[in-house]
Structure 1
């Protein structure tokens, strides 16, 4: 690293180095990284402490308390807009009162208020929308513990309630990644489950009594969450080969179908009658079914055969519920 001449630039560099090193760095290591003497680094660390950056010292090592703060960033108007749009999505995704979401949005609004008061006002409104929603303390606490485990590389002991078997089991879990899902506005954690000795995806809303342990873990270098979820329609992935799904959309909805990129693998082929074929490769059709249902009779499942059969059974069940025309 090049020698940093400006003290404020150096403080920013030190804070970013500590933010990227959960186990912390010694004064000597920091001095070598920024090419300054250790006395200068000690004064810099003292200034960072006075700023309330959440600086902690354990033995000879300095680290940041990630629960308190991260480093300061400077934003352009376009970047503020990007964060505003993200804030709107976050507020819509949060169907529960998560105090951390509220605080994050309020801090973001404070940070951009001088530069962009219009955006700040709307971000405050997004925070207020989340504040008025129901509070589920058990969900917030589970997410807090899983977040710390992920950030600090520490395993979490938890109880997980299975949806299919309606039973709860205790597990030791290493959180590798946390991912939101637009389906049910839920949050999922992907990681290594010691009980099953394999990579698993857990819905955070089903996690109970999560406790942080002192047992450390390292995320494998080959673990790539984006690659893992590349074939997923949402967060459900499979080790098996991808499934090809082929849908035929009625001419009345073709333009709407073409307006969005629903999945990175999608291919749309126009047919002579004005309809279109929509083809994707997905790891599982589980999360895709609600999306297919929303199109009603304007879509027909052509493949795979088992998905088509499932939708046919659902249509027959709906007829039994609602009756036939004229009833």
Structure 2
């Protein structure tokens, strides 16, 4: 039995005793938790040893376990274990946004909640925290953009037009823009602003860390009633926008198991093959992002359509081969350039 499962079960026992008026029998608890009565006895012993005010008494020959009435009054917050774990996990996930309003506000809330818990509950929660940790992938550092994020958030909430100076990586230049900010969107370690760009007369996405200057105006706007961020983003394979393209990819049996484990795109359709391989079809906005994703799978993925994407990947593979063709010369050139 994993330690995290044991702690979760014990906390559920504690919650049931706390909400029960007359207490619970071991058989009642075992039925509720779908486990053996012996397991419940061990958990009750562990809770008592841990300092929880649990006692038992016989009523008409039947032993009932209950929580002392005074202890029930000392738990002023009706959070379940799953809610506390979810809150802790959410705070942990957002630690990459430390020193921004999103992480710091959740951290403050978590501290307030912990301050209301009795000592034995704090001790128990500390044990739970040791069993749960969220990893973080590649991400940008947003602590230096705290003010920018807060200003954008204010602009979105109050529907205020903003003036920005934006750096476009592909063109390597900055341009002034006037934008109606619709939504802040966080994806794959990056904050984006989705809004109507008056210069381009279209809804665009702006990476927040590439906004070099920001000014809130007093001018207000209205988000179109038919705008829906999920609809706007559903075709994209990540964040890029473009013309819809139907893409079909064959994955060998070596990669198929990993591919079928996840939902990579809302439109994906997977067809299993008798040899253990699979074919995935998706409808995406442009091919730039999905091309990089397909390249991650190396020779285990082959684009079947469209032909234009097949050619892009073939050309990319040829360039990669060229990079590694002459090892000594390439390494020397890279180190001396």
TM-score, structure 2 length as denominator? 0.64
Deviation at 1:229, TM superposition (A): 0.8
**Could you tell me how far apart the structure 2 residues matched to 1:190 and 1:87 are?**
25
**Could you tell me how far apart the structure 2 residues matched to 1:135 and 1:186 are?**
9
Q: Which runs of 5+ in 2 are unaligned?
A: 1-76, 330-337
Deviations 1:228-257 (A, max 9, x none): 11111122233x4x2111111111121111
Show the counterpart of 1:19: none
Q: 1:301 aligns with which of 275, 297, 303?
A: 303
Show the counterpart of 2:126: 118
Show the counterpart of 1:170: 176
Show the counterpart of 2:196: 192
Q: 1:223 aligns with which of 217, 220, 227?
A: 227
Deviations 1:161-216 (A, max 9, x none): 1222222111111110111121xx21111111122222111111110111111111
Distance change >3 Å, CA 263–CA 134, structure 1 → 2:
closer
Show the counterpart of 1:55: none
**Could you tell me how far apart the structure 2 residues matched to 1:304 and 1:281 are?**
11
Q: Is contact 2:100-2:143 (8 Å) kept? A: no
Show the counterpart of 2:316: 314
Q: Is contact 1:177-1:190 (8 Å) kept? A: yes
Distance change >3 Å, CA 75–CA 281, structure 1 → 2:
farther
Deviation at 1:87, TM superposition (A): 3.2
Show the counterpart of 1:146: 152
Q: Is contact 1:81-1:119 (8 Å) kept? A: no
Deviation at 1:105, TM superposition (A): 3.8
Q: Is contact 1:158-1:207 (8 Å) kept? A: yes
Deviations 1:59-101 (A, max 9, x none): xxxxxxxxxxxxxx9754323333333333333xx3x754334
**Could you tell me how far apart the structure 1 residues matched to 2:162 and 2:105 are?**
24
Q: Is contact 1:88-1:123 (8 Å) kept? A: no
Show the counterpart of 2:92: 88
Distance change >3 Å, CA 174–CA 145, structure 1 → 2:
same
Distance change >3 Å, CA 229–CA 255, structure 1 → 2:
same
Deviation at 1:124, TM superposition (A): 12
Q: RMSD of aligned C-alpha atoms?
A: 3.2
Distance change >3 Å, CA 236–CA 286, structure 1 → 2:
same
Q: Is contact 2:235-2:283 (8 Å) kept? A: yes
Show the counterpart of 2:286: 284
- Aligned to 1:248, the other structure's residue is in SS state strand
- Aligned to 2:288, the other structure's residue is in SS state coil
**Could you tell me how far apart the structure 2 residues matched to 1:300 and 1:154 are?**
47
Determine which structure has more spread, i.e. the larger CA radius of gyration.
2
**Could you tell me how far apart the structure 2 residues matched to 1:82 and 1:202 are?**
30
Distance change >3 Å, CA 85–CA 97, structure 1 → 2:
closer
Q: Is contact 1:112-1:120 (8 Å) kept? A: no
Q: Which runs of 5+ in 1 are unaligned?
A: 1-72
